[in-house]
Amino acid sequence: MGPPLSSMAMAVMLRSRAVFLGPPGAGKGTQAKKVAETAAVAHLSTGDMLRQEVAAKTQLGLQAKTFMDAGKLVPDDVIIGMVRARIRLPDAKDAWILDGFPRTLPQAEALDKSLSGAAALSHVIYFAVPEAVLVGRLSGRRTCSKCGAIWHLENRPTKKAGVCDQCGSELVQRSDDRPEAIGKRLEVYRSQTAPLLAYYRDRRVLREIDASRSPDLVFQELLKLMQ
């Protein structure tokens, strides 16, 4: 833990409309959860939304599952519709972090179109991590089946193996954290999502963070960047 958040930092974060951009396993979800808890900012993770739809066996979930398990992207129109509906809910009125969206150029353009004037993006933060590190993070990840807390067999182990420290429920491995799907996700990231770096760099909103360091160091730097 670092020093407490200053009231100034807190005030700025309360108005954040941020995008966390980066490859699978970069730590977007880990950090977005922490920032959201610290600063009462809504955490909008398209991956989490889709996994909830899959668990509830909705039509959207059934449609998305095949793409997700294969490590491919779910079609843009499905994702854009889902995000538009989510961002209109009352808890996302003032401030949010988009985690895992946008990840194609059409998604970025759709987001630009739906945000205008005062509601424009405040930060786009690129989580930079070398690919060799990502593979280790993804294969050792375990997630709580109930509260969604993110753990790692070596980097962030629970006190009791297989049991969530936060809520006592069972930990599971994501179905897309198998080696074949991991390889595909990294390839999809390189071809479809990495071009967004230039898109946001051109718009002068891109900030880069060295996310290969410890979670606490990354969190401290993130708070500074989001001021």
Q: Which residues pair with 207 in a beta bridge?
A: 125
103 binds ligand AP5 (CB under 6 A): yes
- Look at the block and give the residue holding tokens 């970069």: 26
Alpha carbons 96 and 83: distance in angstroms, whole number: 12
Contact yes or no for 16/95 (Cβ under 8 A): yes
Residue choice 34, 43, 65, 152 for contact with ligand AP5 (CB under 6 A): 152
CB of 110 to ligand AP5, least distance (A): 10
Residue choice 13, 39, 47, 108 for contact with ligand AP5 (CB under 6 A): 47
Contact yes or no for 185/24 (Cβ under 8 A): yes
Per-residue tokens: 120: 């424009």
Does the CA dihedral 134-140-145-149 come out positive or negative? negative
27 binds ligand AP5 (CB under 6 A): yes
Nearest to residue 185, comparing CAs of 196, 194, 172, 173?
Answer: 194
30 binds ligand AP5 (CB under 6 A): yes
Q: Which residues contact 74 (CB under 8 A, 6 or more apart)?
A: 50, 63, 64, 67, 68
148 binds ligand AP5 (CB under 6 A): no
Stretch that binds ligand AP5, among 89-97, 164-172, 194-202, 210-218 (CB under 6 A): 210-218
Alpha-carbon radius of gyration of the chain: 17
Residue choice 23, 27, 29, 71 for contact with Mg ion (CB under 5 A): 29
Residues 62-91 that bind ligand AP5 (CB under 6 A): 67-68, 71-74, 79
192 binds ligand AP5 (CB under 6 A): no
Q: Which residues are catalytic?
A: 28, 103, 141, 174, 185
Alpha carbons 14 and 43: distance in angstroms, whole number: 12
Phi and psi for 224 in degrees, rounded to 5? -65, -45
CB of 204 to ligand AP5, least distance (A): 23
Interface with Mg ion by CB under 5 A: which residues?
Answer: 29
Interface with ligand AP5 (CB under 6 A): 22, 24-30, 46-47, 50, 67-68, 71-74, 79, 100-101, 103, 107, 137-138, 140-141, 150-152, 155-156, 176, 185, 211, 214-215, 218
